[in-house]
Structure 1
Amino acid sequence: MISDIYTSFCSTILFPLHEALKKHTTVKVRQDMEHSQWLAPEQIRQLQLTRLKAFLIDVDRHVPYYRQLFASRGFDPQELSDLRQLAELPLLDKATIRANSEALKADDANGLSRFNTGGSSGEPLIFFIGNKRVSHDVAAKWRATRWWDVDIGDPEAVIWGSPIELGSQDKIRLLRDKFFRTHLMPAFEMSAEKLDGFIGDIQRIRPKMLFGYPSALAHIAEHAEKNGVVLSELGIKVAFVTSERLYEHQRAKIQGVFGCPVANGYGGRDAGFIAHQCPRGGMHITAEDIIVEIVDNDGKVLPVGELGEIVVTHLATRDFPFIRYRTGDMGILSAETCDCGRGLPLLAEVQGRTTDFVVAQDGTVLHGLALIYVLRDLDGVDAFKITQESLDKTSVQIVRTSAYQQASAEEKIIAVFKARLGQAVNINIEYPEFIAKEKSGKFRYVISHVKQ
Structure 2
Amino acid sequence: MRLFDISLFLKRFPIKRAKDELLHISAINEADYEAFLNAKKAEIVNYHLKYNNFYQSKVSEGSTNWESLPILKKTDYQIPLKERLSIDFSEKDVYINKTSGSSGNPIRFAKDKYSHAITWAYHIERFGWYGIDFNSSLQARYYGIPLDTIENKTVQLKDFLAKRYRFSINDLSEKALGEMLEVYKQKPFDYINGYTSSIVLFAKYLKEKSIILKTVCPTLKVCIITSEMLFEDDKVLLEKQLGVPVVNEYGCSEAGVIAFSNPDGEWEVDSKTLFVEILDEDGKPLPLGEEGRIIVTSLHNKAHPFIRYEIGDYGAFSEKSTFKKPILKKLTGRTNDFAILPSGKKAAGMTFYVITKKIMEESGNIKEFKVVQTKIDTFKINYVSEEPLTQEKKSFIAKTLEQFLESGLTFIFHRKEQLDRSESGKLKQFVSLVKS
Q: Provide the TM-score with structure 2 as the length reference.
A: 0.73
Percent identical pairs in the alignment equals 24
1:141 CA drift (Å): 1.0
Task: Assess if the C-alpha contact under 8 Å between 2:45 and 2:307 holds in 1.
Answer: no
Residue 25, structure 1, aligned to residue 8, structure 2: no
1:204-224 CA-to-partner distances (Å, cap 9, x unmatched) read 223111101122111101101
C-alpha distance in 2, partners of 1:109/1:365?
A: 48
Task: Assess if the C-alpha contact under 8 Å between 1:221 and 1:258 holds in 2.
Answer: yes
1:271 CA drift (Å): 3.2
Q: Give 1:225-304 correspondences, 5 Å limit.
A: 225-233=207-215, 234-304=218-288
Paired letter, 1:18? S
C-alpha distance in 2, partners of 1:275/1:193?
A: 35
The residue aligned with 2:326 is: 345
The residue aligned with 2:317 is: 333
The residue aligned with 2:63 is: 75
Q: Give 1:417-432 correspondences, 5 Å limit.
A: none
Residue 194, structure 1, aligned to residue 183, structure 2: no
C-alpha distance in 2, partners of 1:255/1:421?
A: 24
Task: Assess if the C-alpha contact under 8 Å between 1:63 and 1:103 holds in 2.
Answer: no
SS of corresponding position for 1:313: strand
Residue 58, structure 1, aligned to residue 47, structure 2: yes
The residue aligned with 1:440 is: none
Residue 211, structure 1, aligned to residue 193, structure 2: yes
SS of corresponding position for 1:352: strand
The residue aligned with 1:93 is: 73
Residue 42, structure 1, aligned to residue 34, structure 2: no
1:182 CA drift (Å): 1.2
C-alpha distance in 1, partners of 2:162/2:54?
A: 40
1:445 CA drift (Å): 5.2
1:173 CA drift (Å): 5.0
Number of aligned residue pairs: 358
C-alpha distance in 1, partners of 2:239/2:368?
A: 23
Paired letter, 1:73? E
1:91 CA drift (Å): 0.7
Paired letter, 1:30? K
The residue aligned with 2:388 is: none
Paired letter, 1:132? Y
C-alpha distance in 2, partners of 1:303/1:251?
A: 28
Paired letter, 1:155? L
SS of corresponding position for 1:169: helix
| Gap runs ≥5 in structure 2 | 335-349, 355-364, 373-377, 384-415, 421-427
Distance 1:127 1:364, change over 3 A: farther
C-alpha distance in 1, partners of 2:147/2:321?
A: 36
C-alpha distance in 1, partners of 2:219/2:70?
A: 49
Task: Assess if the C-alpha contact under 8 Å between 1:59 and 1:67 holds in 2.
Answer: yes
Residue 317, structure 1, aligned to residue 301, structure 2: yes
C-alpha distance in 2, partners of 1:186/1:259?
A: 22
SS of corresponding position for 2:307: strand
SS of corresponding position for 1:168: helix
1:52 CA drift (Å): 1.5
The residue aligned with 1:168 is: 151
**Which of 89, 100, 106 is the equivalent residue of 2:86?**
106
The residue aligned with 1:426 is: none
C-alpha distance in 2, partners of 1:301/1:225?
A: 44
1:318 CA drift (Å): 1.6
Task: Assess if the C-alpha contact under 8 Å between 1:47 and 1:288 holds in 2.
Answer: no
1:289 CA drift (Å): 1.2
C-alpha distance in 2, partners of 1:421/1:51?
A: 44
C-alpha distance in 1, partners of 2:296/2:221?
A: 31
Task: Assess if the C-alpha contact under 8 Å between 1:120 and 1:445 holds in 2.
Answer: no
Task: Assess if the C-alpha contact under 8 Å between 1:225 and 1:257 holds in 2.
Answer: yes
C-alpha distance in 1, partners of 2:161/2:95?
A: 24
Task: Assess if the C-alpha contact under 8 Å between 2:95 and 2:112 holds in 1.
Answer: yes
**Which of 141, 155, 160 is the equivalent residue of 2:138?**
155
Task: Assess if the C-alpha contact under 8 Å between 1:238 and 1:263 holds in 2.
Answer: yes
SS of corresponding position for 2:114: helix
C-alpha distance in 1, partners of 2:291/2:149?
A: 36
Paired letter, 2:62? G
**Which of 139, 149, 158 is the equivalent residue of 2:121?**
139
Distance 1:30 1:447, change over 3 A: farther
Paired letter, 2:125? R
1:133 CA drift (Å): 2.9
SS of corresponding position for 2:241: helix
Distance 1:328 1:143, change over 3 A: same
C-alpha distance in 1, partners of 2:432/2:192?
A: 26
Paired letter, 1:108? D
1:421 CA drift (Å): 7.2
1:346 CA drift (Å): 1.6
1:88 CA drift (Å): 1.1
C-alpha distance in 2, partners of 1:444/1:226?
A: 23
| Gap runs ≥5 in structure 1 | 1-8, 77-84, 357-362, 372-385, 392-417, 423-442
Distance 1:221 1:420, change over 3 A: closer
Comparing 229-238 with 116-125, which one deviates more in the overlay? 116-125
1:324 CA drift (Å): 0.8
Distance 1:367 1:316, change over 3 A: farther
The residue aligned with 2:339 is: none
Tell me the C-alpha RMSD between the 2 structures: 3.5
Task: Assess if the C-alpha contact under 8 Å between 2:112 and 2:301 holds in 1.
Answer: yes
Task: Assess if the C-alpha contact under 8 Å between 1:271 and 1:327 holds in 2.
Answer: no
Distance 1:173 1:302, change over 3 A: same
